[in-house]
C-alpha cells in the first residue's frame, strides 16, 4: 500500500480490490456539467434535462480526499475508485480521480489547502472520507455549486451535515450494543471493560457514550484510556492492561485504527480481547471487528457520485445512507493466541450477528 505525500494527487490501491458487481444504471452518457446538476438550488427536472442532452465520452473531475492513511479509510478510497472505473466504462464516460486525489495525513492545514486547490481546479464533485474531511470540504465549497459526497461519517446529524445543502453521503454509524453483547457472549462474567479511543475523534463520541450506558445497565465497570497519537495509544493500551481489563472496546476511531498494528500484540501478550467497530481492525490484528463493510460503503458512495453526475440528481434527492451489516469479523490467529476455541466463539456470536467472517492478520489489504 503506497503512502501518499501530504498533498500529492495520485490514485492508489486499485490492485487491492477486484471488480464489484455493476449496479443497474443506464448505459447512456452522463449528464451535463456536474456543477449545474448538483447545485442544491437547481431543480431535478432541469438537471435531468441536462442529462438527456449529454453525450458519451464526457470526463468528470472527481476530487477524492482521504483524511489519513489507514486500513479502513484506504478500503473506502480503493472501493470508490474501483466502482467509478466500472461505472465509467459501462456508461462510456471517464471519472478522473487520479489527478484530484489527496491525503491530508490527519493535518487540518493540509485539509484546508486541499479544499482550496480542488475548488480552484473546478472539480465536479468532492468525495470526502471521514468527518473532519467532510466538514472542511463543505466549508471549501461554500459559494460554489460543487457537491460534497462524504463517506465514513459516523454521525452526520451531530456533524451538522443533515439538512445542509450541497452535501450527502454514507455513514458508518455503529451499533454499539451489538458489539458489547459480543463481549458478554464470550465473557458472561466480565466485571470490567476497557474503553480505548481518541477524545478528539467525533466518530467515537456517541459510541463511547453508548458503551458507558450499556455497562451501567449491566452493572459492569469500565476503564477509559485515550490517545491522540500512535505512541499515546500504545501507552493507553498498556495502562488498560495494568488496570486488569480482559476485554477492550474501540469504536470506528481513526487514531486507534492507525495504531492497531502497533498494539495488537501488546494485547495478545496480556490475554486481552480487543473488540472494534470495523473489520479492518481485525485485519490488522484485533480479535473482533463488527459493523460496516467498508468496501460496500465505498461502492455506495461512488454510486451517489454517479447519480449526481450522470442521473441528474441533486444532493437534496439523495439522503445520507446508513448501514448495519451485522457482520462479525474474527481474526483466527488472534483467537488462537488468546487461547479461545474458534468454533465456541462463533457459536456464542450467532444470536448477535448475521454473519461471521474469518480473517488473518494483514498489514496491507
| Number of Cβ within a 10 Å radius of residue 133 | 30
SS3 329: strand
Q: What is the pLDDT of residues 157-185, one digit of tens each?
A: 989 998 899 999 999 888 999 999 999 99
Q: What is the pLDDT of residues 26-72, one digit of tens each?
A: 333 454 333 333 334 433 443 443 343 335 799 999 999 999 988 78
Q: What is the pLDDT of residues 332-354, one digit of tens each?
A: 999 999 999 999 999 999 999 88
**pLDDT over 70 at 104, yes or no:** yes
SS3 277: coil
What are the two backbone dihedrals, phi and then psi, of residue 126, each rounded to the nearest 5 degrees?
-120, 125
The percentage of the chain sitting over the pLDDT mark of 90, rounded to a whole number, equals: 72
Q: What is the pLDDT of residues 260-302, one digit of tens each?
A: 999 999 999 999 999 999 888 999 999 999 987 888 999 999 9
Average pLDDT over residues 109-118: 98
Q: How many helices (H) and strands (E) does the chain have?
A: 14, 14
The DSSP call for residue 142 is: T
User: Whole-model pTM?
Assistant: 0.71
* Confidence band of 363 (pLDDT split at 50, 70, 90): confident
What the chain holds in terms of domains, given with CATH numbers, is 14-172+294-322 (3.40.50.2300), 176-291+326-359 (3.40.50.2300)
* Stated length of the chain: 365
Residue the block writes with cell 476497557: 194
Cα–Cα nearest to 175, from 245, 246, 247, 252: 252
Residue the block writes with cell 500504545: 234
| Number of Cβ within a 10 Å radius of residue 26 | 11
**pLDDT over 80 at 2, yes or no:** no
Strand partners, 16: none
Give the residue, 279 or 83, on which the prediction is more confident: 83
Q: Cell numbers at residue 219, please? A: 452493572
Average pLDDT over residues 112-136: 97
pLDDT at 325: 67
**pLDDT over 90 at 127, yes or no:** yes
pLDDT at 281: 94
Contact 63, 97 (CB under 8 A): yes
**pLDDT over 50 at 322, yes or no:** yes
Q: Cell numbers at residue 45, please? A: 427536472
pLDDT at 292: 78
pLDDT at 321: 95
CA dihedral for 73, 107, 206, 244, sign (positive or negative): positive
Average pLDDT over residues 89-111: 96
CA–CA gap between residue 140 and residue 120 (Å, rounded): 10
Average pLDDT over residues 256-262: 95
pLDDT at 324: 66
pLDDT at 55: 56
CA–CA gap between residue 107 and residue 117 (Å, rounded): 15
CA–CA gap between residue 272 and residue 335 (Å, rounded): 11
Average pLDDT over residues 200-218: 93
Question: Which strands make up the sheet holding 288-291, listed edge to edge?
Answer: 221-226, 192-197, 247-250, 273-276, 288-291, 327-331, 355-359
Give the residue, 41 or 209, on which the prediction is more confident: 209
Average pLDDT over residues 132-136: 97
Average pLDDT over residues 79-104: 97
Amino acid at each position: 500500500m503506497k503512502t501518499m505525500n501530504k498533498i500529492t494527487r495520485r490514485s492508489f490501491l486499485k490492485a487491492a480490490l477486484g471488480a464489484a458487481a455493476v449496479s443497474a444504471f443506464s448505459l447512456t452518457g452522463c449528464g451535463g456539467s456536474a456543477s449545474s446538476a448538483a447545485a442544491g438550488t437547481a431543480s431535478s427536472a432541469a438537471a435531468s434535462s441536462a442529462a438527456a442532452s449529454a453525450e458519451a465520452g464526457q470526463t468528470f473531475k472527481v476530487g477524492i480526499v482521504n483524511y489519513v492513511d489507514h486500513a479502513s479509510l484506504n478500503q473506502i478510497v480503493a472501493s470508490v475508485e474501483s466502482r467509478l472505473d466500472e461505472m465509467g466504462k459501462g456508461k462510456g464516460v471517464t471519472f478522473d480521480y487520479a489527478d484530484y486525489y489527496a491525503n491530508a495525513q490527519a493535518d487540518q492545514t493540509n485539509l484546508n489547502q486541499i479544499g482550496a486547490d480542488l475548488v480552484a481546479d473546478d472539480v465536479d464533485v468532492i468525495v470526502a472520507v471521514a468527518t473532519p474531511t467532510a466538514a472542511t470540504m463543505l466549508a471549501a465549497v461554500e459559494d460554489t455549486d460543487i457537491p460534497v459526497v462524504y463517506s465514513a461519517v459516523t454521525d452526520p446529524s451531530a456533524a451538522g451535515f443533515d439538512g445542509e445543502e450541497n452535501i450527502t453521503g454514507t455513514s458508518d454509524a455503529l451499533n454499539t450494543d451489538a458489539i458489547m453483547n459480543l463481549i458478554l457472549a464470550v465473557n458472561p462474567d466480565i466485571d470490567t471493560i476497557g474503553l480505548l479511543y481518541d477524545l478528539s475523534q467525533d466518530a467515537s463520541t456517541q459510541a463511547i457514550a453508548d458503551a458507558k450506558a450499556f455497562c451501567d445497565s449491566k452493572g459492569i465497570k469500565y476503564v477509559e484510556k485515550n490517545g491522540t497519537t500512535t505512541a499515546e495509544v500504545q501507552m493507553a493500551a498498556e495502562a488498560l492492561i495494568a488496570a486488569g481489563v480482559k476485554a477492550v472496546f474501540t469504536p470506528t476511531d481513526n487514531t486507534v485504527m492507525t495504531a492497531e498494528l502497533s498494539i495488537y500484540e501488546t494485547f495478545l501478550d496480556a490475554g486481552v480481547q480487543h473488540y472494534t467497530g470495523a473489520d479492518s481492525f481485525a485485519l490488522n490484528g484485533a480479535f473482533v471487528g463488527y459493523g460496516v463493510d467498508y468496501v460496500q460503503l465505498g461502492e455506495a458512495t461512488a454510486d451517489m457520485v454517479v447519480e449526481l453526475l450522470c442521473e441528474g440528481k441533486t444532493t437534496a434527492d439523495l439522503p445520507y445512507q446508513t448501514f448495519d451489516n451485522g457482520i462479525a469479523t474474527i481474526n483466527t490467529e488472534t483467537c488462537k493466541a488468546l487461547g479461545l476455541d474458534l468454533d465456541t466463539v462463533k457459536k456464542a456470536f450467532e444470536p448477535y450477528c448475521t454473519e461471521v467472517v474469518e480473517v488473518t492478520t494483514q498489514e496491507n489489504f
